[in-house]
Structure 1
Amino acid sequence: MLELHHNPMKVEKVLEKEPPKWPPGTATAYHALTFGAYVDRLLTNADPKHRRIDQLFEEEIAQPFDIDFRIGLPKNLSYRGARFEPFGINEFLRNAIKTPSMWMLVIKLLLNPNNLLSKASNAVTGQITNDPYMREIAISSVSGHGTARGMAKLYGILANGGKLGNKQFLSQETIKSLTDPKMIGESLNYGGKIKMGRGLYYSKNPMVRTCVTYD
């Protein structure tokens, strides 16, 4: 992971040489570390100033809209970060029994402890997520740090059509595109069919027709 911070071009070369594991658009096996690495390098290359994702987010979103949120937590601010406490096996099983959508995960883990889900889960450990040097690494899909107020403000802007006062955060067209799934197929690590969009996955909610959840 440190290569992402110190040598992003090397990581980019590795990622671009990785061949697809299945025909694109037919399935997915999401993992925060690799997903963020791909997206962040694409954004950096598309940005005219070629800024890293943490700098781009800070200058284009966090500062202009006064949102207390950052991608990657500088070591001098590590005291503000809550510690990550992973589920123990007993707590995981208790939650799984109460949640039908998790039953398939448990079955897959029991039948094949070395499957994609296990490998993906083992890659993100408490040691990594609580290490100040690791937390400093900017990966948009896994190293976001912010306050509850900052998150509420961000989603409040989105719920208000992407505007805050006279400032436009995202266009209506962009917000609409975020609610439109781009791929419906089998999740090879979670099991079952899922709907995926632009950095989002979509699940049913008893209160509303479609619940958009960031993954």
Structure 2
Amino acid sequence: MAALAGVWPPGERLGYLDVSMGLFESELIRHADPAGRSLGRFFAEEVAAPLGLDFYIGLPDSVDRDRVAHLHTWTRYEALLHLNTMPPRFVLGLLNPRSLSARAFATPGIREFDDMNREETRTVEMPAANGIGTARAIAALYGCAATGGTEIGLARPVLDSLVNPAAPPARGMRDKVLHVDTRFSLGFMKPFPTFTFGSSDKAFGTPGAGGSFGMADPDAGVGFAYVTNRYGFHLWSDPRELALRQVLFQEILGARSQT
């Protein structure tokens, strides 16, 4: 991966990185950390431990496997039946091994989503793909970030970058992998017209495969998370997740409507 050339110059376009994003981040941490820790170990010691999170990147032997939900997934060809909810060009791209979409989502040893249920896939560190934990843990982490992140040493310049508007690429916000407009800042998604989340545009978070979603809302001072082990066909705002988020932000907090 380190020897690969970029598909476009940095800052020119936007393209969603599936698993490789976490691998890049892990190597940055490993080279910068005096202890040479991987992202999974750094997260366990510097983030999960101080906050008491039941969440792991690389599932340790100490976790009872009976507590780990089985993922009920779908194949890439099944997505053809859901072009009304998934971007058609993205779905077709997943089926073309030479496309940028297929290459961005390609992971050695993983052919379909169901492979995420294998023990070797759960235990290896894939920071962008196989975090395993509870919704309560995800919401607690985002809640910590939403209230300043002092418990985990979140620096003010980093928090400012997360809450500020995403810097637009020079050639527009159309994601060349997902084939829809998106907004990202430091790897986290920011609200945009077709995906309004949180009480203001200071919110940040990220959807997960199949319908999961976690986010921080600095203005409301809350973290939110929804997880599911039965995959849906929405890139974001799965109806199950959206219904819960709407209740929290519009009906309880009196904030803006969620989309």
TM over 0.5: yes
> Could you tell me how far apart the structure 2 residues matched to 1:153 and 1:207 are?
16
2:72 pairs with one of 80, 85, 94: 85
Task: Give the 3 Å change call, closer, same or farther, for CA 168–207 of structure 1 in structure 2.
Answer: closer
CA deviations 1:159-200 (Å, max 9, x no partner) are 22224xxx4542333222122324433311111332221111
Q: Post-superposition shift, 1:30?
A: 2.0
**Unaligned 5+ runs, structure 1:** 1-14
2:191 pairs with one of 173, 184, 203: 203
Report % sequence identity: 26
Equivalent in the alignment of 1:3: none
Q: Post-superposition shift, 1:130?
A: 0.8
Task: Give the 3 Å change call, closer, same or farther, for CA 189–73 of structure 1 in structure 2.
Answer: same
Q: SS of the counterpart of 2:88?
A: helix
One-letter identity of the residue aligned with 2:8: W
> Could you tell me how far apart the structure 2 residues matched to 1:182 and 1:142 are?
25
Q: Post-superposition shift, 1:107?
A: 3.9
Q: SS of the counterpart of 2:178?
A: coil
> Could you tell me how far apart the structure 2 residues matched to 1:46 and 1:20 are?
23
Higher helix share: 1
2:204 aligned with 1:212: yes
Q: Post-superposition shift, 1:156?
A: 1.5
Task: Give the 3 Å change call, closer, same or farther, for CA 16–32 of structure 1 in structure 2.
Answer: same
1:68 pairs with one of 51, 54, 65: 54
2:113 aligned with 1:131: no
One-letter identity of the residue aligned with 1:213: G
CA deviations 1:75-117 (Å, max 9, x no partner) are 45333222222236797467652x4xx4xx2145448841332
CA deviations 1:39-70 (Å, max 9, x no partner) are 11011101011111111111111112211111
Task: Give the 3 Å change call, closer, same or farther, for CA 206–199 of structure 1 in structure 2.
Answer: closer
> Could you tell me how far apart the structure 1 residues matched to 2:29 and 2:120 are?
23
Point out which structure has higher relative CO (alpha carbons under 8 A, 6+ apart).
1
2:174 aligned with 1:186: yes
Q: In angstroms, what is the RMSD of aligned CA positions?
A: 2.8
Task: Give the 3 Å change call, closer, same or farther, for CA 206–198 of structure 1 in structure 2.
Answer: closer
One-letter identity of the residue aligned with 1:170: L
Task: Give the 3 Å change call, closer, same or farther, for CA 129–111 of structure 1 in structure 2.
Answer: closer
Equivalent in the alignment of 2:156: 172
The answer to whether the 8 Å contact 1:183/1:197 transfers is no
2:146 aligned with 1:159: yes
CA deviations 1:6-37 (Å, max 9, x no partner) are xxxxxxxxx22111111111123223211111
**Unaligned 5+ runs, structure 2:** 208-259
Task: Give the 3 Å change call, closer, same or farther, for CA 23–81 of structure 1 in structure 2.
Answer: same
Higher strand share: 1
Number of matched pairs:
193
- TM value normalised by structure 1: 0.75
